[in-house]
């Protein structure tokens, strides 16, 4: 269980780095916390799968991408956020 939690934490960290790099490359675009949180969610899910399967994060990401699970995760995540009408406010 601790391996899965560690992998989820690593996934969240990876998602945070990805979100920050995405923001850094977008010159003139304001930071969007909603996009950042969504990236963290995907990172956590991929990390959890990596921990559960006992594989590296990149391996889990490639596996999930190859079977279309990343796209499915994105659709489900966005649908849930729209349905519950979460309003993320910028600081």
Q: What is the DSSP string of the chain?
A: -HHHHHHHHHHHHHHHHHHHHHHHHSTTPPP-HHHHHHHHHHHHHHHHHHHHHT--HHHHHHHHHHTTHHHHHHHHHHHHHHHTT------
pLDDT, tens digit (0-9, with 9 covering 90-100), for 59-72: 998 999 999 998 89
- Per-residue confidence band for 90, with pLDDT thresholds at 50, 70 and 90: very low
User: pLDDT band at residue 85, thresholds of 50, 70 and 90?
Assistant: low
Q: What is the pLDDT of residues 1-49, one digit of tens each?
A: 687 888 888 888 888 888 788 777 777 778 777 777 788 888 888 888 8
């Amino acid at each position: 269980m601790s391996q899965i939690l560690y992998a989820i934490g690593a996934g969240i960290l990876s998602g945070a780095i990805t979100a920050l790099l995405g923001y850094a490359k977008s010159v003139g675009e304001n930071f969007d916390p909603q996009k950042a949180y969504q990236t963290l969610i995907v990172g956590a899910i991929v990390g959890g799968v990596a921990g559960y399967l006992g594989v590296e994060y990149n391996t889990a990401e490639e596996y999930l991408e190859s079977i279309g699970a990343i796209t499915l995760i994105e659709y489900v995540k966005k649908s849930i956020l729209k349905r519950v009408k979460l309003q993320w406010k910028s600081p």
